[in-house]
Chain A
Amino acid sequence: MKQFSYRHTKEAELMDSVEAASKNASSMSEDELFSFAEFNAEDVERTGYSNYSYWRSTFQAFLKNKGAVALLVLLGLLLLFTFIQPYLPGQYDPNMIVNDANGMQYRNVPPGDMFLLGTNSIGQDLWARIWAGTRTSLFIGLSVAVAEALIGITVGVIWGYVRKADFILTEVYNIIDNIPNTIILILISYILKPGVKTLIFAMCLTGWIQMARFIRNQILIIRDRDYNVASRCLGTPTWRIMMKNLLPYLVSVIMLRMALTIPAAIGNEVFITYIGLGLPVDIPSLGNLINEGRALITSPALRYQLVYPTIILSFVTISFYIIGNAFSDAADPKNHV
């Protein structure tokens, strides 16, 4: 009984919907409605296809992150300014000790008209020193990041593709990975003459292996994924597989690693300088400046000598960190709609 009544209501509904259908489609006669439609095989296959470009999507996704874009612009301006600052009128030399009319040094002059950010304990202009220091520190950071990426990617690709190299490089990795990074840094800085080159060398000595290891693992994993094997079977040239299938996976992490290496390298410079193995004071760096400022920590009036360098340092490292993460998110194909 139940089912019978159910049928009835369904039938009634059916009649309604048929009527509605004919009303809606009043432009067509009933006969025409129930005639066969044209079938176009090509149209069918077109459904669900989207035109997708990896790099365009990456940049679109990145541009959507307003904060990161703003930081990128600011960072670019900062970088530009470190280069043009020495050529601006009325700038002091970062290492020049400024004397007044009586031949007395301008020691610990607070920020003001004459010295924008004041002077340090021996009468050097802090403004000029901070920009020179930023230049040095950024140079160290960028050099380390680029060097690590270049060495790391090259070795990583060889490691992943040349089977004979795998054993040796894995052993090298095991050894290097076992030594704490700090030790290498300290040791190299202790043995070699302090200087920018020494610092870059010491930081690159171990950093590349992590990048290489990562590239190697990704190559091993991705190379034998089914879609790549399929792609190879279809005769896709190796470079195309590299560019289209491999690179998008790697770009996001390579960029992230590079972006994080820069602040890490700058931080390491500060650390090495702090323990007394860093750059000599006549090469201003953020590490040097912070170290000088730290010595004055007990007198609140002189704290500006610590605060300004740390502000610049924090801005640079935070920017790189956020931009790196934003770009890495944007470069990850999983985050593309």
Chain B
Amino acid sequence: MPDKNIPEKMLTVEDLEIKFELRGKTLNAIRGISLDLYKGEILAIVGESGSGKSVFTKSFMGLLDQNGKVTAGKVMYYGADDGMPMELTALKREKEWYKIRGHEIAMIMQDPMTSLNPLKTIGVQIMEAVLLHQNLTRAEAKEKTLKYLEDVGISHPERRFYQYPHEFSGGMRQRVVIAIAIACAPQILICDEPTTALDVTIQAQILDLLKALRHKYKLSIILITHDLGVVANIADRVAVMYAGDIVEIGTSEDIFYDPRHPYTWALLSSLPQVGVKGTDLFSIPGTPPNLFSEIKGDAFAPRNSRALKIDFLETPPYFQVSPTHKAKTWLLDPRAPKVEPPPVVEKIRNGGLM
């Protein structure tokens, strides 16, 4: 009997490693990530560009580029219609992925301006998804499509159905993209920087829409973003990713009010919302490490002004901070010297983010 208090898992990732072959060199894009996604939650994955966020989630759908391979670990999916767990990393042939893509896991991409086919009406593009994943006649599918358009907040769906993407604004197009994703009737929705390309005013609308749709369609959402500000509003849990690894994971409260990893601190410090007027905005020195070479120790150590010597020698394990919260940093080791979190953490605790 499953315990009522333990949320149902939708997806588990165990020690996933992904490597890319690039002109004879190997790029270690994902370096042994483990992660659980629970039913109905919004899990945010935060990190700089190039940290491997998109690659990580693309591997759930078999959409890695040709030169990318999962070299270790596995991804299990528990939401299949027959209730049987599926090992996604064991799927080899394109055909096997068709059952997953859209049907179980759908995706929203960053740039709505380019993610719609410019030569097809938006109605046709949404209907394509409906017809693929729901056993309906064309007439029923059209009816359904109009409903989805309405659900994502597009007025006059009958008229909009016959329009082309270029007749829509960026925010509207992202709504159409969301409608396409919903029309697949998936269990998991991966949103890859869904608001990055949009105006700030539109961003909030899209996030609200996602929140509303999650309840209506009982979705589990993975939200990829580099913007912690976005995360604070919407996510239940947050995973902080750096150089192909998750360095800290916890509930939103954990990450914002009790962050433990120096990288999380640095990310929070560089939020414009917490900057002090008249002073320079904090920026993290240096660039992310070169993933072509094997990383020794803590990947963030070279950019961390208060790194320990051991950070350069040994990769830290996860230290459990609370049942929901863990971080990969030697600072949590009992032998480590005490390092105070930067003042920004105190500031957030007192004043909230906004």
User: Do any CB atoms of chain A lie under 8 A from CB atoms of chain B in the complex?
Assistant: yes
Alpha-carbon gap, A11 to B306, bound state (A): 25
Contact with A along B1-31 (1 / 0, CB 8 A): 0010010000000000000000100000000
User: Do A24 and B313 touch across chains, with their CB atoms under 8 A apart?
Assistant: yes
Q: Which residues of A contact B303 (CB under 8 A)?
A: 44
Least CB separation from A2: chain B residue: B6
Q: Which of B64-72, B205-213, B333-341 contacts A (4 or more CB under 8 A)?
A: B333-341
A37-53: which residues lie under 8 A (CB-CB) from chain B?
A: 37, 39, 41, 43-45, 47-48
User: Do B286 and A44 touch across chains, with their CB atoms under 8 A apart?
Assistant: yes
Pull 20 A–B residue pairs with CB atoms less than 8 Å apart, ordered by A.
A10-B320, A10-B326, A14-B318, A18-B333, A25-B310, A33-B335, A34-B308, A34-B333, A36-B307, A36-B309, A37-B307, A37-B309, A37-B311, A39-B306, A41-B305, A44-B302, A44-B303, A47-B290, A48-B289, A48-B290
Partner among B285, B309, B333 whose Cβ is within 8 Å of the Cβ of A35: B309
The verdict on A34 contacting B335 (CB below 8 Å), with A39-B306, A44-B303 known, is: yes
Interface contacts beyond A14-B319, A36-B309, A45-B285: sample of 11 additional A-B pairs, CB < 8 Å, sorted by A: A2-B6, A3-B6, A10-B326, A14-B318, A17-B317, A18-B333, A30-B335, A33-B313, A34-B309, A39-B304, A44-B285
User: Do A25 and B314 touch across chains, with their CB atoms under 8 A apart?
Assistant: yes
Q: Which residues of B contact A44 (CB under 8 A)?
A: 285-286, 302-303
A200-223: which residues lie under 8 A (CB-CB) from chain B?
A: none
Interface of A is mostly: helix
Least Cβ–Cβ distance between A244 and chain B, in angstroms? 22
B-side interface residues toward A, CB under 8 Å?
3, 6, 23, 285-290, 301-314, 317-320, 323, 326, 330, 333, 335-337
Least Cβ–Cβ distance between B269 and chain A, in angstroms? 16
User: Do A11 and B286 touch across chains, with their CB atoms under 8 A apart?
Assistant: no
Q: Which residues of B contact A39 (CB under 8 A)?
A: 304-307
User: Do A37 and B290 touch across chains, with their CB atoms under 8 A apart?
Assistant: no
Partner among B6, B301, B317, B333 whose Cβ is within 8 Å of the Cβ of A37: B301
Partner among A2, A11, A30 whose Cβ is within 8 Å of the Cβ of B320: A11
User: Do B308 and A35 touch across chains, with their CB atoms under 8 A apart?
Assistant: yes
The verdict on A13 contacting B308 (CB below 8 Å), with A34-B330, A35-B337 known, is: no
Least CB separation from A18: chain B residue: B333
Least Cβ–Cβ distance between B49 and chain A, in angstroms? 13
A-side interface residues toward B, CB under 8 Å?
1-3, 7, 10-11, 13-14, 17-18, 20-21, 24-25, 28, 30, 32-37, 39, 41, 43-45, 47-48, 337
Alpha-carbon gap, A15 to B335, bound state (A): 12
Alpha-carbon gap, A13 to B15, bound state (A): 14
Least Cβ–Cβ distance between B323 and chain A, in angstroms? 6
Least CB separation from B306: chain A residue: A36
Q: Which residues of B contact A37 (CB under 8 A)?
A: 301, 307-309, 311-312
Least CB separation from A30: chain B residue: B335
User: Do A43 and B317 touch across chains, with their CB atoms under 8 A apart?
Assistant: no
Alpha-carbon gap, A117 to B99, bound state (A): 68
Alpha-carbon gap, A10 to B325, bound state (A): 13
User: Do A48 and B287 touch across chains, with their CB atoms under 8 A apart?
Assistant: yes
Partner among B287, B313, B337 whose Cβ is within 8 Å of the Cβ of A47: B287
Alpha-carbon gap, A311 to B21, bound state (A): 42
Q: Which residues of A contact B309 (CB under 8 A)?
A: 28, 32-37
Least Cβ–Cβ distance between B322 and chain A, in angstroms? 10
User: Do B310 and A34 touch across chains, with their CB atoms under 8 A apart?
Assistant: yes
Q: Which residues of A contact B305 (CB under 8 A)?
A: 39, 41
Least CB separation from B311: chain A residue: A37
Least Cβ–Cβ distance between A18 and chain B, in angstroms? 7
The verdict on A33 contacting B310 (CB below 8 Å), with A3-B6, A43-B302 known, is: yes
User: Do B314 and A21 touch across chains, with their CB atoms under 8 A apart?
Assistant: yes
Least CB separation from B284: chain A residue: A44
Alpha-carbon gap, A312 to B317, bound state (A): 69
Alpha-carbon gap, A21 to B320, bound state (A): 19
Q: Which residues of B contact A30 (CB under 8 A)?
A: 335
Alpha-carbon gap, A14 to B290, bound state (A): 27
Partner among B290, B335, B337 whose Cβ is within 8 Å of the Cβ of A36: B337
Partner among A14, A25, A32, A41 whose Cβ is within 8 Å of the Cβ of B285: A41
Most chain-B CB neighbours within 10 Å: which of A13, A30, A37? Answer: A37
Least Cβ–Cβ distance between A52 and chain B, in angstroms? 14
User: Do B289 and A47 touch across chains, with their CB atoms under 8 A apart?
Assistant: yes
Least CB separation from A32: chain B residue: B309
Least Cβ–Cβ distance between B5 and chain A, in angstroms? 10
Alpha-carbon gap, A32 to B311, bound state (A): 12
User: Do B304 and A34 touch across chains, with their CB atoms under 8 A apart?
Assistant: no
Q: Which residues of A contact B337 (CB under 8 A)?
A: 34-36
The verdict on A36 contacting B310 (CB below 8 Å), with A1-B3, A30-B335, A48-B290 known, is: no
Least Cβ–Cβ distance between B35 and chain A, in angstroms? 13
Partner among B3, B285, B306, B314 whose Cβ is within 8 Å of the Cβ of A24: B314
Q: Which residues of B contact A17 (CB under 8 A)?
A: 314, 317
Least Cβ–Cβ distance between A328 and chain B, in angstroms? 19
Alpha-carbon gap, A24 to B315, bound state (A): 12
Q: Which residues of A contact B308 (CB under 8 A)?
A: 33-37
Q: Which residues of B contact A3 (CB under 8 A)?
A: 6, 323
Alpha-carbon gap, A3 to B312, bound state (A): 31
Alpha-carbon gap, A230 to B168, bound state (A): 31
Q: Which residues of A contact B318 (CB under 8 A)?
A: 10, 14
